Structure 1
Amino acid sequence: MSTHNPHEAARPSRRALLGLAGGLGAAGLIARTQPESRERPTAPGNVPHSAFLAPGSRHSDQIPNVTLFTQSGRAVRLYDDLIRDSQVLLSFMYVQCNGICPASSQAMQDLREPLCRELGTGVRLISLTLDPEQDRPADLARYAGRFGISHEDHPQPGLAPWYFLTGTPDDIEAVRVALGYRDPDPVIDADRSRHAAMFTFGNDLTNRWGTLPVGLNTAQTLSGVLRMLGTTHAQRYSHLPRPS
């Protein structure tokens, strides 16, 4: 259990800054396409469809398609059921965390309404526990209840759905490593109370992904997330800061 100074928790951690640097590279991921085809589908807004990328070249190809369990106990395949051709915002947390987790979870809650308003009900929020041996579905359900969520499949009008996931330690670890939440210092990496305070977000349909640190204000985070998740010019650019 973390004993971080609350003022320190509000600042992006070392891992967050590493993630931001990686995210700046990931933010430049734009789908490459194969030669034209008459049957070629397109994503909304005529953005190239990631199905035409070479096998293994999509960002999501690195995400393990492991079986995890939602806060209601339902088994889901991470990629097939939650990420494939979807717009997603992911982060890690655990129920007993009293460091950055409350702030990151509240930030996700604050993004649910504007993301749903801008992108519709197809966007999904995903929180994965870093303590799967302790955080079973019932524990995650109680945690989700703090945000008024009773069941991931019971939609809350005007709010993006939010999935809290647990699984075997090996499967959770595989996802954590694949998403780049590993610290180069093995001592820090082994301490979940010092885990990376980051958001990973992407549009699997267009193969656009990015990473931002927790600690930005809602407007800043929303602008960065929509820049990657949006499929139209208005969605991607309408929230960028305007010169005064």
Structure 2
Amino acid sequence: MNAKRSTLLTLLASAATSAVSATTVAWEAERRSADTFRGHYFTNASFVDHTGRHVKFYDNIIQDKVVVVNMMYTACTSVCPSNTANLLNVQRALGNRMGRDVHMVSLSLLPELDSPSALRAYMQRYGVGPGWTFLTGTRGNTDIVRRRLGFYDSDPAADADLFRHTGMVSIGNDKIDRWCMMPALTAADQIVRSIEEIA
């Protein structure tokens, strides 16, 4: 009787181990599939950051991170300075979480004018601290990424007006695929709350 029970328990344990192993393999495959999908969706378009480093948008900027993304260009004198000032308040409120738990990203809508050195000068002018990356690239890659992030208008004529894309901020957590958008001039504490809800 004990031998039969021992054999049965061994078989059950083996079956349970196999089931757990199969579930783990299936979960890993599903996670890889989701990562691949998000990588394709956001694209791995090439950009250059403010330090001159070449980066891939999904692999280096978005993947597995909580990000706060806005569109800007250094020659913008209307809403961009106010947006940057407000996001600086968000950066200060986040403190040492910046660059560790939360990453801010500003993407130039005029990459042909905004070189890495122009972006650095802009950052210095506004006192931008660590954990905030400014990107420039080609107009084609910029357009793809901004549209994938939700910075677009369904009317082509309106979409061509770059100024229309500078007033919003996109907040996302790639690990759990949660995203939201809000006006970039939303009170800094409300933006921080939205980041914390998504993070």
Per the TM superposition, whether the score is higher than 0.5 is: yes
Q: TM-score range by the shorter chain?
A: 0.7 to 0.9
3-state DSSP of counterpart to 1:146:
helix
* Separation in structure 1 between the aligned mates of residue 39 and residue 62 of structure 2, nearest angstrom: 8
* Separation in structure 1 between the aligned mates of residue 169 and residue 114 of structure 2, nearest angstrom: 20
What residue is the counterpart of 1:152 in the other structure?
none
What residue is the counterpart of 2:59 in the other structure?
80
What residue is the counterpart of 2:161 in the other structure?
191
What residue is the counterpart of 1:204 in the other structure?
174
Q: Is the alpha carbon distance of 1:55 and 1:219 closer, same or farther for their aligned partners in structure 2, counting shifts above 3 Å?
A: closer
Alignment of 1:28-47 (within 5 A): 36-37=23-24
Q: TM-score, structure 1 length as denominator?
A: 0.64
- The code of the aligned residue for 1:220 comes to Q
Q: Contact conserved, 1:58 with 1:207, CA < 8 A, in 2?
A: no
- The code of the aligned residue for 1:212 comes to M
* Separation in structure 1 between the aligned mates of residue 97 and residue 163 of structure 2, nearest angstrom: 34
Percentage identity across aligned positions? 31
* Separation in structure 1 between the aligned mates of residue 61 and residue 133 of structure 2, nearest angstrom: 9
* Separation in structure 2 between the aligned mates of residue 170 and residue 147 of structure 1, nearest angstrom: 28
- TM-superposed deviation, 1:99: 1.9
3-state DSSP of counterpart to 2:52:
coil
The structure 2 residue matched to 1:93, chosen from 72, 96, 100, is 72
Any idea what the Cα deviations from partners look like across 1:163-200, whole Å, max 9, x if unmatched? 11000111111111111211122222111123251111
Q: Is it true that 1:107 corresponds to 2:86 in the alignment?
A: yes
- TM-superposed deviation, 1:226: 1.4
* Separation in structure 2 between the aligned mates of residue 99 and residue 123 of structure 1, nearest angstrom: 27
- The code of the aligned residue for 1:132 comes to P
3-state DSSP of counterpart to 1:69:
strand
Q: TM-score, structure 2 length as denominator?
A: 0.78
- TM-superposed deviation, 1:53: 7.0
Alignment of 1:62-211 (within 5 A): 62-117=41-96, 121-149=100-128, 161-211=131-181
Q: Is the alpha carbon distance of 1:111 and 1:60 closer, same or farther for their aligned partners in structure 2, counting shifts above 3 Å?
A: farther
What residue is the counterpart of 1:242 in the other structure?
none
- The code of the aligned residue for 1:37 comes to T
- TM-superposed deviation, 1:219: 1.3
Question: Cα RMSD between the aligned structures?
Answer: 2.7
- TM-superposed deviation, 1:60: 5.6
Structure 2: segments with no counterpart, 5+ residues: 1-21
3-state DSSP of counterpart to 2:126:
coil
Q: Contact conserved, 1:60 with 1:204, CA < 8 A, in 2?
A: no
Q: Is the alpha carbon distance of 1:89 and 1:214 closer, same or farther for their aligned partners in structure 2, counting shifts above 3 Å?
A: same
Q: Is it true that 1:226 corresponds to 2:196 in the alignment?
A: yes
Q: Contact conserved, 1:59 with 1:209, CA < 8 A, in 2?
A: no
Q: Is the alpha carbon distance of 1:209 and 1:36 closer, same or farther for their aligned partners in structure 2, counting shifts above 3 Å?
A: farther
Return the structure number with greater relative CO, CA threshold 8 A, min gap 6: 1
- TM-superposed deviation, 1:121: 2.0
What residue is the counterpart of 1:47 in the other structure?
none
* Separation in structure 1 between the aligned mates of residue 174 and residue 101 of structure 2, nearest angstrom: 12
- TM-superposed deviation, 1:161: 0.7
Q: Contact conserved, 1:210 with 1:225, CA < 8 A, in 2?
A: no
Total equivalences in the alignment? 178
